Each structure stands twice: as structure tokens, then as C-alpha cells.
Structure 1
Amino acid sequence: MGHKKKLHIDVSLNITTTKRTSLWKLLLHEFNISNNTNQKSNDSINNDNNIQLLFNYVKLPIHLEKFMIFGLIYTLVVFLKLLVIIPFRWIIHTLILIISTFTNKSKRIKLPKFNSISYKNDSIAVSNIIITLLLLKNIDTSRIYHNIRSGTAIKLYFMTQVLEIADRLLSASGIDILKSLFRVNIRKRKINFIFIYGLSIIYLYIHSYVLVYQVMALNVAINSYSNALLTLILSNQFSELKSAVFKRTEREGLFQISSSDLNERFLLLIMLIIISSRNFLQILINTSSTNDFFNNIKPNSWLTNITPWIMVDNWLGLLIGPSILVIGSELLVDWIKHSYIIRFNRIKPSIYDKYTKILSNDFINGLNGSSNQINDYPSLLTKRTGFPITTLLIVFCKLSVFPYIKHFTTNLLNNYSTIISSILILLLIFVLITLLIFIRLLLSIILLNWSKEILSKPILKNDYTLGEPNVNTSNISDVRKSLYNSEIETIPPTVEEKRLKKLSDRKVDADDSLSNVVRFEMADKRIW
């Protein structure tokens, strides 16, 4: 008890290092007259660190958008694979299986071989999508639209928050359900397969219903004649700042935040495409009175001073105008959020290059087939970022693809005979599928070359700026650390020393710890 804690004082000043201080020394101290050279060096180091933090603000958008652009292209490639490649591949393999079954073996017709495991996974995926779409057949989007539009502001705010939480919870559960579905052995465990398959259908139906409500809420906001609802939707994006900025975040946690923002951007883009396509379909339906249609349907919610250059009197401005506000606000919120996260945690913007490198490695491993296709179906991206690719595809087909098919089918049947209409519909579908396959292959080539370029470049090992907190040796001296504790106490290890010891005990390289991070597993203090 005789030991007293020392006060936290600046040890860099000569006036505090002596037991007695004269008036003369105190006067010199007040006028900042000192012959201490160590103070000058410390000030210069701190100044360099502060300048580095300011430069990080400028560098952040470049590094962040590189990661986002690569991730968006990667996600689009996976989305197109599930949209056109897997169903088309399943049809071809099914035809080959039927022909090989009913063909006489004596004819020795050489048929191309296919992987049985891949065919099983394709069959499960296609059947899941078809059954869920059939269950969603009778869903009334018009009633959902008007129910959302007639609600009060408080009700809508509460609904959007609940839908966002439900989306994340269902995405986490969906990964486990679908992973178990593709892992189970159908021949040995038929009862388990039937149970998990039924559970997957229930999950896809509920999650699709949640996403339909999210799309309709955004559609109401865009087509609203007042700014209230659109302001409500945009305010939800800025609420992310409160939940993410003022928390301590490690590199692993920042990777999960980045994955969450990547999923949110792609989901937002698909929603805007769905809304724009539905608005454009209404334009096609009302082509006979286009001028009156624009005067009646054109919303005022997005007509702000930010977008005065958009031609609001034509269909291009009607479709693109709302998207600029929504995407622009999303970019602004992401830049602000990540800027302050790396500022408070002293993380360098180059960390996003490592995240991009991890996605590049996942993409190349997926093409090389080095990963287990059963466990990572249809792509490593769904496991890494937790993106609900199957659910989004179902919603996209329900709200955007099927209305166009219904519209063109009705028009063709009214103008031509049944045979000619069927031929034209099949021809149109074939051309569309061919175009999507070409786009998917082109994006895959671009992404493959980009991935090789990223993996060939060396990346800086140091991910942190000097100062607290960081995982490298900080510029706090042992003398200053001793002032925090009494003489009988042992100086506890700093956060940096704990992290370095943890990595050395695990015998894992710091960069390898990032490669093991997935979205819905606890890599930091919370799941983002």
C-alpha cells in the first residue's frame, strides 16, 4: 500500500526529469526555450505519422474502388454462371444422359462425358430455383407495392430495419443449409437429403420474399412524388457510420466490412436494374401515349440540384436519374466510413490490395478446380463473402425476367400464329442466352488476366501506420509505459505484443490469417 501510482506526465521535457525546479527553468519552459533535441525528433515523427494519416484519406477511394470493382465483376461472373451456364449445362447433360440410356450400345455412339458430381449439384440448384419460383408464382407485387406506399414514415423505417436484419440472418443460415445440401450423400442418406432439401426450399422462399419487399420498398422510394421516402431509404445508408466507425476494428474485421459493402453494392445494383426494367416495361405498355405517360409517371423524389443535367423529359432520364442518387449516396457513405475506420485504427489503405489478392486467388482456384466443388458450390465467392446468389437470382427472374417474357409472348401471340410465335420466342431466348454466355466468358477472361497481374505484384507487409493502435512496434518508449503502472506491478503487454505473440504461437503468417476470413464467421468482435 505504500507504493503510489505515478502521474502520467510527458517524460520528454527536462523540467519533469529533475526533482527540484527553479523559477528560471520554469520561465524558460513557459517560453518554450529548451535544449532538448529528443523532443524535436519525437515531434517530427509524430508529424510524419499525422501527414501519413492525411495521405491515407486521399489514397483510400482508389484502393477501395479497385477492390469493389474487382469484387463486383467477380460477383457478376458468378451470377451469370448461375443464371445461364448452370441451367444450360444441366439441360445438355440431361439430354446426353437420356440419349445414352435409350441408345443401343451396339451402335457405339460416342457421347461426351460429364462429371456426375457436377451434374448432381446442377440438378439440385436448378430444381431449387424452379420450385421456389413456382411457390412465388402467386405473389402479388402490386399489393406489396401499395401496402408499402400507404404506410407511415415510422412504419417504413421500422420495416426497412427489420428487412435488413432479416436479410443478414437468412444469408448466414442459407450458407449452412445449402452447404449441407450439396455435401450430403444422396445414396447413403436419403432421409437426411430429403429433410435438408425441404429446408432449403423453405429458406429460399422466405429469403426471396424478404428481398421482394426490399425491392418494392426501394421502388416506392424512387417512384414517390415526395422526398420523404427516398430520404428514409438514404438515411439507412448513413446509419452504417454509427455502427462501424466508432469501434476498434482489426484487419479481419475490416475484410468482413468490405465484403458486406461489396454484397450491398451488388444487391443495390440488381435492385436498380429490376426497378428500371419494370419502369421501362411500363413505358413499352404505354407506348401509344408516351407523352402523357411521362407527364403522369415521372417522379419528383429524385429531382434535386445534384442532377440538373439529366434529361428528365425522356426515358433515359427516368430510368437513370434515381440510380445516380442511390449509387452516389452509397459511394459517399462507403468512402466516409472506411476513411474513418482506417484513420481510427491506423490501417493503411494498401490493406484493400490484400483483400483483392485474396479474391483473385479464390477466382483462379475456382477456375483451376483445385477447390472442392461440393463444399464451395457454385463458387468460393459465396463462402467468402456470404452473398445469397441463389436467392437474388430467384428474385431477379421473378420481378424482371418473367414480366418481359409474359409481355413479349402475349404480343407475339396476338400478332402472329402460334407456330411462328413459338419460333420467335425460342429464337429470342437463344439469342439472349448466347449473348449472356459471351458476356460471361469475356468478363472471365478480363478477370483472369487481372487476377494474374494482381498475384504477380508484391504487396507491402506493413499494414499499419506507426502509433496506437497497430500490430507493429509502436513509438511508445519503455519509460513512458512504466508510468502507467506502479513499481510492484509488471508492465502488461501492449495490444501489438499480444497480437504478435498470438501469431507466433499459431505459427501462422499474418497474411495467411486474412485468407481464412469468411463473412459469417467470428473473425473480429462482431459479425458485419
Structure 2
Amino acid sequence: MAKDPNLLGEVSRAERSPLRYFIGEIYSGNSLRSTISVGNEKKRQRVYNTMFHLPLRCERLICAGFFVCLDSFLSLLTIMPARILMTIWRLLKTRQLQRPNAAELSDFACFLVLVMGVGTLQLTDISLIYHFIRGQGTVKLYVVYNVLEVRNMISQAITLSTCIVAHNNALLALLVSNNFAEIKSNVFKRVSKDNLHSLVYYDVVERFHITAFVLFVLAQNILEAEGPWFESFLTNALMVYMCEVFIDLIKHSFLSKFNDIKPDAYSEFLEDLSKQTLNENSEDHHKNLTFIPLAPACVVIRVLAPIYATLLPSGPLLWRLFWIISWSGLTYIMLAIWKILVSLSLRSLATWYLKQRMDRKQHMD
């Protein structure tokens, strides 16, 4: 058998300089090439996309969408009241009844729905619902949560609060059962790119609703919890978010892999979201993130009102009214500052991302 001179030369070099051989192995490519098959580069790239590229782009899109929802939520609590006050002031100043335009009618309609929603929730006995749900078995909590999903957010928040403060595995059982049902109903379906676009926006809205639920639980603990509770609350809240992130990544990874959708699709979704943030008109309105913040706003106002009530001093009605106006004004200023920061940051990041996408497209062309 003829001897391979290249092989003999490599062995002799390794014998002369072990360090050079080790460095050569580092720069030689795949470290396991001697024990695994070369494989198909296209299949390997699909695996890399599923494991690394897609989860990062998906979570980046969901986080960006979350702040878009937060911006809409803050607009409801800051911009809408200011516009209503300006409209009323204009009517009082001119003393002329003018037909309101569509934007003004929308503001008054949203304000009316918000007041009615908060008023309805004020009549709801949260303690009664809480103890009713707490009396259910661990398995029944999953059923209660999904039945109440079509009813209202306050009941879902109470269910989550019950699971968090329970001294058993109720929260874990709720998360596992609910998320397992979500995976089962989504991952093995044939979906198009447009359907995936709608699904990721649904996950964005769901992430924001979970944040509203967590705020509800925090408010309930501040009012009713006894003893040290913050560490347990923080641990359980992190568990909820980590499970939600983990399930979303698994769901989208499977959907993209089985439907042969590349990670760049999520970059296109983020591009559409950036255009929506900058109020650039899109020809296809199905690509826009649709979020109505009325329900979360009603829940947040309902659960924060008792906390503010504990801060009011006892005394005459006028004195209490003064503090109500003071706390309301201070809260409005804080929310307005958050609104400005979130809006300007979103617009700046959206402009930067669109420029990056445009430069990349020009470079590819």
C-alpha cells in the first residue's frame, strides 16, 4: 500500500510541535469532524435557524410589540384625557356647539367605556371571587382560567393571583396545563406567513395582558398580604414570564421549521411594526398590530384605586378632595413622562431599524 506523503508530513509536524498541532486543530473547522458525518449544509442551517437565529428575532419582535402596546396604553391614560379637556375647554370658551369630528367622538367613546368598565369592576366583589377560585382543586384551576378567558380580564387576574399566593403547586400546574394546550393547538398546524404574522402579534398582546395580571397580583399583595411576601411574589412572577417566553419560543420554532419559514420573516414583521410606529401607511392593514388597551386599563385602575385610597389622610371632605386631586395630578405627570420616553424611544429605534433594513437591501442588490 502506498503511503500518503501528506499524512506522513502532518504526523511528523505534530510530533515535532504538539502546540502547533493543537492550534491547527482549533482553526481547522468542525471540532467533531472525525466522528460525525459531514451532513447536508442546508439541513444544518435549518437546525441553526431553529435553535439560535429564530428565537432571538422572535423575542426581539415580541419585546418591541410589547412597548408598542405600552405606548398605546399610556396614550389612553394621558393623551385621551388631555384631548377631552381641550375639547370641553374650547366649547366653554366659544360657547358654540360644534359637531365633533371622528377623533373627538372616539375619545369620548373610549372615555365612556373606560368609566363604565371601572365602575362595573368597582361593584365586583374581588374577595368573593378570590375565595371561590381558591376553593377549587388544582386541576380545576386550568378549566376556570380558560372558561373565564372569554369573560373578562379581572377574573383571569384573580385566578392567577390565587395560584401565586397558594402554598402548593397550583401555579406550576396552571402554567403547565395552559401552555401545553397552547403548544398542542398550534405547533403541528400548517400555517402561512401571514397567519404566523397574526399569531406573533397575538403573543405580543398576551404578554401585555400578563403584565397587567402581575400588576393586579402585586396590588393585591400590597393590600392584603401578611408577613414577608415580596420574595415569593417576585419568584412566581419570574416563573410566569419565563414560562411564557419559553413556550412562545418553542411554538414559533416548531411552526417555522415545519412550515419552512426562515428567521428573516420575523425581521420583516419587525419592519412592518416599525413602519406602524412611525405612522407610515401600509397597504395591507392585516400587517398592523391591533391592540385595544381599554380592558387592561380598567383592571389596572380598579386595582390601584384602593392603594391610593390608603394614602389619603383622614379629615374633612375638602381636605381629602385636595389630596385626591394632588395624587391624580402627580400620577398623570408620571404617566405623561413615561409616555414621552416610550414614544420617543420607539420612534428613534424604529427609524434606526428601517435604515438598517434599507442599507442591507441595497447591499444585497
Q: Give the shorter-chain TM-score range.
A: 0.7 to 0.9
Q: Deviations over 1:172-198 (max 9, x none)?
A: xxxxxxxxxxxxxxxxxxxxxxxxxxx
| 1:271 corresponds to | 213
| 1:117 corresponds to | 102
Q: Does the Cα contact within 8 Å between 2:190 and 2:259 map onto a contact in 1?
A: yes
Which structure 2 residues correspond to residues 262-411 of structure 1 after superposition, within 5 A? 262-282=204-224, 293-294=226-227, 298=229, 315=230, 317-365=231-279, 384-398=288-302, 400-409=303-312
d(CA) in 2 for partners of 1:453, 1:90:
34
Which structure 2 residues correspond to residues 456-471 of structure 1 after superposition, within 5 A? 456-458=355-357
How far did residue 74 of structure 1 move? 0.5
d(CA) in 2 for partners of 1:446, 1:222:
33
| 2:16 corresponds to | none
| 1:242 corresponds to | 184
Of 200, 222, 240, the match for 1:258: 200
Q: Deviations over 1:198-232 (max 9, x none)?
A: xxxxxxxxx5xx21110011000001011135422
d(CA) in 2 for partners of 1:149, 1:66:
36
d(CA) in 2 for partners of 1:89, 1:101:
18
SS at match of 1:53: helix
d(CA) in 1 for partners of 2:295, 2:317:
34
Q: Does the Cα contact within 8 Å between 1:263 and 1:387 map onto a contact in 2?
A: yes
Q: Does the Cα contact within 8 Å between 1:221 and 1:233 map onto a contact in 2?
A: no
Q: Deviations over 1:38-94 (max 9, x none)?
A: xxxxx98x7011110121011122211210111011000000111222023212321
How far did residue 341 of structure 1 move? 1.5
Q: Does the Cα contact within 8 Å between 2:142 and 2:177 map onto a contact in 1?
A: no
Q: Which letter maps to 1:66? A: R
How far did residue 417 of structure 1 move? 4.3
Q: Is it true that 1:232 corresponds to 2:174 in the alignment?
A: yes
d(CA) in 1 for partners of 2:343, 2:107:
20
Normalized per residue, the structure richer in helix is 2
Pairwise CA RMSD: 2.6
d(CA) in 1 for partners of 2:208, 2:56:
19
Identity of aligned residues (%): 26
Q: Is it true that 1:426 corresponds to 2:325 in the alignment?
A: yes
| 1:222 corresponds to | 164
SS at match of 2:189: coil
d(CA) in 2 for partners of 1:405, 1:114:
37
d(CA) in 1 for partners of 2:86, 2:176:
45
Q: Which letter maps to 1:84? A: T
Q: TM-score of the superposition, structure 2-length normalised? A: 0.80
| 1:468 corresponds to | none
SS at match of 1:275: helix
Q: TM-score of the superposition, structure 1-length normalised? A: 0.56
d(CA) in 1 for partners of 2:304, 2:288:
28
Of 140, 143, 147, the match for 1:158: 143
Q: Deviations over 1:7-44 (max 9, x none)?
A: xxxxxxxxxxxxxxxxxxxxxxxxxxxxxxxxxxxx98
Q: Is it true that 1:93 corresponds to 2:78 in the alignment?
A: no
Of 336, 341, 354, the match for 1:442: 341
d(CA) in 1 for partners of 2:223, 2:139:
31
Q: Deviations over 1:306-358 (max 9, x none)?
A: xxxxxxxxx3x243221111001111111111111112122211211111111
Query: Structure 1 pair 363/63, CA: closer, same or farther in 2 (3 Å)?
Result: same
Which structure 2 segments of 5+ residues have no match?
Answer: 1-36
Query: Structure 1 pair 346/66, CA: closer, same or farther in 2 (3 Å)?
Result: same
Q: Aligned pairs, how many? A: 320
Q: Which letter maps to 2:295? A: T
d(CA) in 2 for partners of 1:453, 1:422:
46
Q: Which letter maps to 2:300? A: F
d(CA) in 2 for partners of 1:265, 1:132:
22
| 2:40 corresponds to | 47
d(CA) in 1 for partners of 2:66, 2:355:
21
How far did residue 454 of structure 1 move? 1.9
d(CA) in 2 for partners of 1:252, 1:144:
39
| 2:24 corresponds to | none
How far did residue 115 of structure 1 move? 7.5
Question: Of the two, which has the highest radius of gyration?
Answer: 1
| 1:187 corresponds to | none
Of 43, 56, 65, the match for 1:71: 65
Q: Which letter maps to 2:148? A: L
